[in-house]
Chain A
Amino acid sequence: MNELQTILSDSVNGLLAERVTKALVQKAEEGDFPTALWNEVEANGLTRVLVPESQGGAGGTWADAAIVLKAAGEHVAPLPLADALLANWFLVQAGIEVPDGVTTLLDGAFTLEGGKLSGEASGVPYGRNAAHGVAIVKGEVVLVPLEGAAIEPGLNVAREPRDRVVLKGAEATAKKTALPENAMKLYGALIRACQMAGALGYLSSQSVAYANERTQFGKPIGKFQAIQQQLAVLSTQAAACGVVTDHACAQVDKRGAEAAFEIAVAKIRVDDASSIATSIAHQVHGAIGFTYEHGLHFATRRLWSWRAEFGAGSEWATMLGRETIAAGADALWPNVTAR
């Protein structure tokens, strides 16, 4: 890790480890948005990792952002931290000033006419808590205040707000960018994949810790080979996801939206891993891990939600496979090694 990365890692992991308590996540699930924590996250610049220093950001790369995104997943922070980080990056791409407060992503169907935004998006992360939304309409990045928006509340299975947001002629700021048409889904998949990699790392370390504590038949269950073998599998899945998301972020830094290939690879791989890993983590934890009282489910329910957001692995796999087959059998290896 370079100096900025060490600072970011200490800052985000220190803050979230201390402040994201079980009580705080539970209250968030009951609808109590952790405003104080959000303010600290913003004050620490964590939503502005990808914003240039001249605009009050850290001027970081996606490799730097990966540290924050993974931490957000690992600590199950009940905040739209990843979403805001991406929304702010979109704004920077367009040269639109980044506002304070909660900014979320509007992934829906919108039209822009005379600087006014109309349309709707469903599944908007923390739409009810957001002061602003960012949409991409025909290559233009659009920043819109959400004060007057009609918001229909909804939840994903992690009980994170996923709201329907309807806008009718809302005053907006819009600017052209070079972002691809599918930028929202593409980069959305990247931030979710990174969060998932973080959550998978948590599942691995938490499950190992539990297996070392829980005693049955007179010894910690982690001493049984059947459990050891399962935990080994869980850890290798988590390790694979750590690498593949780092790789995707590094490639975005290197080649921008041409890294769509690596983003697809990451979302597919992480989706596959999450199905294996959540199953093992729950099996190792036994009945206690199936209770609301134990915190394991905060991570597993997020993984079950996130793996389908911004395109499930199967959707990305179909796209990637179509391209691979179209390029032809003998192009596979040269294409893989050219990147």
Chain B
Amino acid sequence: MQPFRFDLCELPGETEGLRQEIRAFLAEELKQIPKVTRAQTWSGSDPEFSRKMGAKGWIGMTWPKQYGGHERSFFDRYVMLEEMLAAGAPVGAHWIGDRQSGPLLLRFGTEEQRQKILPRVAKGECYFCIGMSEPDSGSDLAATRTRAEKVDGGYRVNGTKLWTSGAHTAHYMIALFRTDFAAEAKHSGLTQFLVDLKNTDGITIRPIKDLAGNAHFNEVVFEDAFVPDNMLVGTEGSGWGQVTAELAFERSGPERYLSSFILMVEMIRELEKRGGEEGAREIGRLVAHLVTLRQMSLSVAGMLEKGENPALEASVVKDLGAIFEQDMPVRAHELLGIAPGIGTGNDYEDVLGYLTQTVPSFSLRGGTREILRGIIARGLGLR
């Protein structure tokens, strides 16, 4: 028997109004944004755009109103997400706060933390980054070494977080630190903290250029940085369990199969120009995979709406989704044979140029392909 279940989930008819409203909004807002910028979609940061989305009520959509949320359904949120991604909206600034840090604080945060921070997140004014990976702790997350030592009134933090996306623009980091240094406390010695990146001494954020020359991830060094007691999230020593729950949010969304969607659209545009049958079979295959992934992704959304934990199902969709996303530049190359470009002004060439260089990260970020398949294998009863 398969350990995971994907029940069909149909979006309720009432989400259609929202979808049309978002499309009209995007048609106006994205008019001046070139396709290559849109290709960054949830990696592209645009605070002004985030504030507009906040004003529309499209951040924190499912959160309680008392924390600035809008108490809408997971289906409304799903429609918002997929419309933003398909259009290539620059949603990166608020993405992590909306997707996982907000829900984490709702679940484990103190009342003070929620009241102080969540309404600002929902307005599109307050951004988050995730401090998990370290130089010696990537896939082996429990090997986290950054130390948070108890001192009067808080914790003194020393160590380095690495590959922290958006740390240079974020207001807060949700950081996983080690609070118990005993060898046997590998998992039980971890604790999550809220770190105020804008108002804490002893934190150095150094951007790291990726292979394409873009700097969206960072090295974050803590040198005797002081984090007060009231910034601890959840309970001391429960960091591992909390992070695991958080990763289900991180892996469950439509961004895990739509990151290259814009290239698929531009491929079709090129084929339209050429006319005839060329590329029809390849495009048909891509459509079939796209539709299948969307149904799987919707099924996960249905589980979230029902309050179920889709951790395993989310890993399945992320693994299949990354294959689809990464395959896109390969298919484009095989089909059209046009060289990827930088700054050519030709939409197809520039989008292909950006994505060809970016897709290797799609099966690294948010859990590598091998880690996800390990989780699936555990679900199958093999580990």
Residues of A within 8 Å of B287, CB to CB, are 265, 320-321, 324, 332, 336
Given A272-B288, A322-B284, 4 more contacts at CB 8 Å? A235-B376, A244-B292, A325-B283, A330-B265
Question: A302-332 CB contact bits vs B (8 Å, 1 = yes)?
Answer: 0000000000011011111110110011101
C-alpha spacing A313/B281, complex, angstroms: 9
A269 in contact with B299 (CB, 8 Å): no
Which residues in B have some Cβ–Cβ distance to A below 8 Å?
Answer: 1-2, 4, 6, 8, 10, 19, 82, 86-87, 261, 264-266, 268-269, 271-272, 277, 279-285, 287-296, 299, 316, 319-320, 370, 372-374, 376-377, 380-383
Whether the Cβ atoms of A313 and B285 lie closer than 8 Å is yes
Q: B279's contact among A229, A321, A339, by CB below 8 Å, is which? A: A321
Q: Check: A208 CB closer than 8 A to any chain B CB.
A: yes
A231 to B382, CA, bound (A): 9
Q: Does A333 have its Cβ within 8 Å of any Cβ on chain B?
A: yes
In the assembly, what is the distance between CA of A32 and CA of B104, in Å?
62
Q: Given A208-B382, A223-B383, A324-B284 in contact, is the A231-B377 Cβ separation under 8 Å?
A: yes
Interface pair B284/A328, CB less than 8 Å apart: no
Contact indicator B281/A201 (Cβ below 8 Å): no
Q: Given B265, B284, B383, which contacts A268 in the complex, CB threshold below 8 Å?
A: B284
Residues 223-242 of A at the B interface (beta carbon under 8 Å): 223, 225, 227-229, 231-233, 235-236, 238-240, 242
CA distance A317 to B268 in the complex (A): 14
The residues of B that contact A235 with a CB separation of less than 8 Å are: 2, 4, 316, 376, 380
Q: A250-B8, A336-B294 are in contact. Are A321 and B281 (CB under 8 A)?
A: yes
- Contact, CB under 8 Å: B281 / A236: no
Show 29 residue pairs from A and B whose CB-CB distance is below 8 angstroms, ordered by the A residue: A208-B380, A223-B382, A228-B380, A229-B370, A229-B373, A229-B377, A233-B373, A235-B316, A235-B380, A238-B2, A239-B4, A239-B316, A240-B293, A243-B292, A265-B292, A268-B285, A313-B285, A313-B288, A317-B284, A317-B285, A317-B288, A320-B288, A321-B283, A324-B283, A324-B284, A325-B272, A325-B280, A332-B287, A336-B287
Q: Residue of A at shortest CB range from B278?
A: A325
Chain B, residue nearest A333 (CB)? B86
Residues B381 and A321 in contact, CB atoms below 8 Å apart: no
- Asked whether A88 is an interface residue with its Cβ less than 8 Å from the other chain, the reply is no
Beta-carbon nearest neighbor of A339 in chain B:
B291
**Closest 4 pairs between A and B when the two form their complex, measured CB to CB:** A317-B284, A321-B284, A321-B280, A320-B284
> Which of the listed residues A222, A264, A268, A330 has the most CB atoms from chain B within 10 Å of its own CB?
A268
Closest chain A CB from B227 CB (angstroms): 37
Give Cα A236 to B381, complex, Å. 14
Q: Name the residue on A nearest B299 (C-beta).
A: A243
Q: Which residue of A lies closest to B370 (CB)?
A: A229
